Structure 1
Amino acid sequence: MSSILNSDKAPEPVGLYPHARKVGNLLFLSGVGPRKKGSKEIPGVTLDENKNIVAYNIEEQCHSVFQNVRYILEASGSRWENLVDVTVFLTNMKDDFVTYNKIYAEYFKDNLPCRTTVEINCLPTPIAIELKCIATID
């Protein structure tokens, strides 16, 4: 048996999917980006009039995406410390990995989930990072 879960603090999904789904004592999060709830605002992103990325700040996006993951975990009855697996999608590994890895280490120093980081061509919105997570629920 599984249940669909959503957070009232995290940004709305950009498609037909929930924030998370609980199966047994596992919690599977859909891809989480850095957008802000209730708006199209993406922290650290500057767009031109055609919605093309002019500039972005990976540090701001990292902090925001980690906060959104925390919102979803807490709304779903889990917590940051229960993360067991994190898949990270970056659109620019060459330029962003060092900064992302430094910030990641700050957030996960007391919790060491398994991690995979991959570079992808683009994401569905003009963001530079997205996380896919699995956590346990006590």
Structure 2
Amino acid sequence: MIKRFYFACIFAIVLASCNTKSKPAGEKAAEEPGKTEATSKSIIKTDRAPEPVGPYNQAIMADNTLYLAGQIAINPESGEMVTSNIEEEATQVMNNLRAVLEEADMDMSHVVQTTIYMTDLNDFGKVNEIYGGYFDHMAPSRVTVGVASLPKGAHLEISMIAVE
């Protein structure tokens, strides 16, 4: 009984591999149901926002969606952190994000999702007031997360997703 089952499994595997059709080199295979063409991606970079502090880009445009990396309050002109108070830090972060959006020919009205990372959620109200000033009545959906620490001693980091 076990030998028959084993033989049936091997036969099914061999039969399945024989039924796969390969195309000659250079000829495109028919798309499988549910599969689409590869996404077009491009790097978005501006001098009006700080250089990334690691191996990533300021933003990636994939088709009509812009994925903005998290920004902290680095002044792009001086390269220094702005940490005198949470309001100035939030303003610098939002200005950095706006500069990346503008490089992609977008503005805050294109933003559909943000994620805010904060080291002190007691500052939520102050950050919320600054953040809210950058959006009209159509604010994006948002997640706010309390974290233990952020790069370069930042108290705040925000990432965004925008759609054309």
Give me the TM-score of the superposition, normalised by structure 1: 0.85
Please tell me whether the aligned partners of residues 6 and 20 of structure 1 are also in contact (alpha carbons under 8 angstroms).
yes
User: Unpaired segments of 5 or more residues in structure 1?
Assistant: 46-55
What is the CA distance between 1:105 and its match in structure 2?
A: 2.1
Match of 2:28 in 1: none
Residue 122 of structure 1 corresponds to 149
Greater relative contact order, per chain length (Cα 8 Å cut-off, separation 6+): 1
Matched residues in 1 for 2:152 and 2:111: separation?
25
The alignment's TM-score, normalised by the length of structure 2, stands at 0.72
The 8 Å contact of residues 70 and 157 in structure 2, kept in 1 or not, is answered as yes
Greater strand proportion: 1
Asked if structure 2 preserves the Cα contact closer than 8 Å seen for 1:5 and 1:76, the reply is yes
- Give the deviation of 1:38 after TM superposition: 4.3
Report the RMSD for the aligned CA atoms in angstroms.
1.2
Q: Return the letter of the residue paired with 2:125.
A: V
Q: 2:161 aligns to what?
A: 134
- Other-structure match for 1:7: 46
Kept in 2, the 8 Å contact 1:5–1:20? The answer is yes
Q: 1:71 aligns with which of 99, 116, 120?
A: 99
Partner letter of residue 30 of structure 1?
A: A
Q: How many residue pairs align between the two structures?
A: 125
Identify which of 90, 97, 116 aligns with 1:88: 116
Mean Cα deviation higher: 106-115 or 117-126: 106-115
The answer for the alignment partner of 1:25 in structure 2 is: 64
Q: Could you tell me which amino acid in structure 1 is paired with residue 48 of structure 2?
A: K
User: What is residue 132 of structure 2 aligned with on the other side?
Assistant: 105
- Following the alignment from structure 2 to structure 1, what is the Cα–Cα distance between the partners of residues 125 and 62? 34
Identity over aligned pairs, percent = 36
Q: Is the 2:119–2:150 contact (alpha carbons within 8 Å) kept by the matching residues of 1? A: yes
Structure 2: 5+ residue runs without aligned partners? 1-39
